[in-house]
Chain A
Amino acid sequence: DGGITQSPKYLFRKEGQNVTLSCEQNLNHDAMYWYRQDPGQGLRLIYYSQIVNDFQKGDIAEGYSVSREKKESFPLTVTSAQKNPTAFYLCASSIAGFGNTIYFGEGSWLTVV
């Protein structure tokens, strides 16, 4: 089955802790994205990558970091510098280039405890 797999589905973070959300895709897409979704707001772009070993900041990159060592994988680390990390995180992928449809994974819930 082709698709985007995010893990874990639910994650709890203690104050001052870094946590990493996993995202793997087998769609052979070059571009991958991380979005954050808060209630009543549109999806906001955290980071995106159009090619392996290259990535760019989105609108709300502060307190987050990413890596793109493999085409299939784009993990997101939520660092202790992110002061309000409780949200629903969505990973997505697409064929490279503007105007192409973005496909999403099932999402990961992160809660600060």
Chain B
Amino acid sequence: EDQVTQSPEALRLQEGESSSLNCSYTVSGLRGLFWYRQDPGKGPEFLFTLYSAGEEKEKERLKATLTKKESFLHITAPKPEDSATYLCAVQAWGNDMRFGAGTRLTVKP
């Protein structure tokens, strides 16, 4: 069965302190790996899609990378407005999208 595990569950950073969030997955035939940002009480907002190992995508202070077993979301010099829950999801051929439980990021000024 497809599985997605995100770590850590929660992360507290000081403003400007760079770090990474991890998403490890086990699927047969990855079709795509997706990152979303979710603010409290809101729907997830799409960030990135990665399709193959070695692929990288960037958006402002965020950079997502993909290997055959995991993906990282790197946050460079975060600001308080980056505080949110970050969700990872994977989709294999012929299967539904599977979501991890998320990493709750707090950035202190």
Binding site for B on A (CB under 8 A): 4, 6, 35, 40-45, 48, 58-59, 88, 90, 92, 98-107, 109
Contacts and interface: CB of A to CB of B under 8 A. Distances in A.
28 contacts: A6-B43, A35-B99, A41-B101, A42-B87, A42-B98, A42-B100, A42-B101, A43-B89, A43-B99, A45-B96, A59-B96, A88-B41, A90-B43, A90-B44, A98-B91, A98-B93, A98-B94, A98-B95, A101-B32, A102-B46, A102-B89, A102-B97, A104-B36, A104-B43, A104-B45, A107-B41, A107-B42, A109-B41
B96 A104 contact: no
A49 to B, nearest CB: 13
Given A41-B101, A42-B101, A98-B94, A104 B51 contact: no
A48 B96 contact: yes
Nearest to A10: B41
B34 interface: yes
A48 B102 CA distance: 22
Contacts of B34: 101-102
Contacts of A6: 43
Interface in B7-33: 31-32
B22 to A, nearest CB: 15
A42 B4 contact: yes
Contacts of B43: 4, 6, 90, 92, 104-107
Given A41-B101, A43-B99, A98-B93, A106 B42 contact: yes
A40 B41 contact: no
Counting chain A CB atoms within 10 Å of each CB, the highest count among B32, B34, B44, B93 belongs to B44
A8 to B, nearest CB: 14
A95 to B, nearest CB: 12
B83 interface: no
